[in-house]
A and B are shown apart, each in its own frame.
Chain A
Amino acid sequence: GQNIDQPTEMTATEGAIVQINCTYQTSGFNGLFWYQQHAGEAPTFLSYNVLDGLEEKGRFSSFLSRSKGYSYLLLKELQMKDSASYLCAVQKTSYDKVIFGPGTSLSVIP
């Protein structure tokens, strides 16, 4: 079967760094996505990892270890607007559906 785990909720302070972890167990692996979803809004794409290592994109970075079935999203210099749900999603093959994790609700406090 497929299983993707993320912490349900996290709280971090404005200006700080936060790491949101995602572990997965799937019968195949083609790539891993991170999406951001503000309350009442559409999920929006943040990153896509295919190979092991760290992908940096401004204040956001995403890391992947395929051998460990593990990814994290790193948010630096947190801002209040970063308060949102962060969804980890795995695709088993290039033509397969994307399976979403339960999402992590991040609250950024002053």
Chain B
Amino acid sequence: ETGVTQTPRHLVMGMTNKKSLKCEQHLGHNAMYWYKQSAKKPLELMFVYNFKEQTENNSVPSRFSPECPNSSHLFLHLHTLQPEDSALYLCASSQDRGAGTGELFFGEGSRLTVL
């Protein structure tokens, strides 16, 4: 139990569907992140939020739309995805955006399959 909870753990969707991934952290952290983990590839940072404000968008396609209503919750809205978007999507939090002296706390991820 890392204090970061992601739902759903598994999701299968068609290319025309709209779905959302949810992340909630109970650690009192100010920064939240979305990472993509594909087989045989390094973890890729997608988005960073610090105090509910988006501070980084790592050239992510617009079919991925993040939302951060408060410092404890982070969503990733998905629409018209492609099969190559199938991956493990990890949410993480840290005390602040830099995580310079602290670590990232990860959720267990949402395994997404796009048919």
Contact = CB atoms under 8 A, between A and B. Distances in A.
Interface centre among B4, B90, B100, B106 (most CB of A within 10 A): B100
Interface in A86-105: 87, 89, 91, 93-103
Interface of A: 4, 30-31, 33, 35, 40-45, 48, 87, 89, 91, 93-103
A101 B42 CA distance: 5
Given A95-B97, A97-B45, A98-B45, A48 B40 contact: no
B2 A95 contact: no
Given A95-B98, A100-B43, A42 B106 contact: yes
A42 B42 contact: no
Contact of A45 (B44, B101, B103): B103
A40 to B, nearest CB: 8
A95 B108 contact: no
A95 B45 CA distance: 14
Nearest to A48: B103
A102 B40 contact: yes
Interface string B83-115: 000000010000001111101111111000000
B53 interface: no
B100 A30 contact: yes
B42 A102 contact: yes
B81 interface: no
